[in-house]
Amino acid sequence: MIKWADVIHFTNKGNPTPDKRVEKTEEEWKQLLTPEEYQVTRLKGTERSFSSELCSLFDPGIYECKCCGTLLFDASEKFESGTGWPSFTQPIKENAIGYHADKSYGMIRVEVVCNTCDAHLGHVFPDGPQPSGLRYCINAVSLSKVK
């Protein structure tokens, strides 16, 4: 189980090695993604809070990266955070997520990305439910639910 100390360690010392890497040109990403998906995942944008029905869906399943299909989160780790974005307590595997210091907008946060293709997913915070205490606050447009 990943805890806040692990998040800080990965942020400061380097991320776990992903199972594989996917790299594409910006033009290739633009051809694969909608304009909103591209803005959020490739340009580190944020969708409007409460703009996706994914926040209130808690059906069993697995969520993958919209860009490369890497499995990222299990719905069993999803919870209602009230923030307006889907929230999870853990990634599906330790090496599925990459962590980077984000000092934008006068704040210090930890950005989370797909560790396979570097797609911006959102941020992680130490204010989630126990036992991990983590809240992965994820843009819904960066995820696809595996059928």
Q: Which residues are catalytic?
A: 137
Contact 96, 115 (CB under 8 A): yes
Sheet holding 71-74, edge to edge: 71-74, 62-65, 143-145
Which H, E and C letters describe 46-108, residue by residue? CCCCCCCHHHHCCCCCEEEECCCCCEEEEHHHEECCCCCCCEECCCCCHHHEEEEEECHHHCC
